[in-house]
Amino acid sequence: MFVKVMNSYRTIVAACDKELIGKMFEEGKLQLNLKESFYQGEELEKKEMVDLLKDYAQEDATFNLVGKKVINCALKAGVIKEENVGTIQNIPYALILL
């Protein structure tokens, strides 16, 4: 899984399953464009991702999360709940503004 942390007026945490990077998924008017320039940062294992998400949740970050592995980590970290998860072409995603 890849994660990229960007600092603006607010911290943005973008995380995506490795195998989805560079792909685009569309369903009706919805679109997931998983650009390398946005998502491809540091590569993390499951425990590292869970810990990172927990840490940034305490810092009032915004989350852009895509992929089954990343979503499972976010659920485990308590950053999101099942009802926060949408899908586009069976790819789960969540956008969270804390």
Match domain 2-97 to its CATH number in 3.30.1860.10, 1.10.40.30, 1.10.940.10, 2.60.120.10: 3.30.1860.10
pLDDT in tens, 27-45: 999 999 999 999 999 999 9
For the chain, the structural domain boundaries read: 2-97
Task: Give, to the nearest 10 degrees, the angle between helix 68-77 and helix 46-57.
Answer: 50
pLDDT in tens, 41-89: 999 999 999 999 999 999 889 999 999 999 999 999 999 999 999 999 9
- Report field, pTM of the whole predicted structure over 0.95: no
d(CA 34, CA 20): 7
Question: Parallel, antiparallel, or unpaired: how do β-strands 91-97 and 2-7 relate?
Answer: unpaired
Q: Does residue 73 contact residue 22 with C-beta atoms inside 8 Å?
A: no
Q: Does residue 53 contact residue 11 with C-beta atoms inside 8 Å?
A: no
- Record the tokens describing residue 53, joined without a space: 């998400």
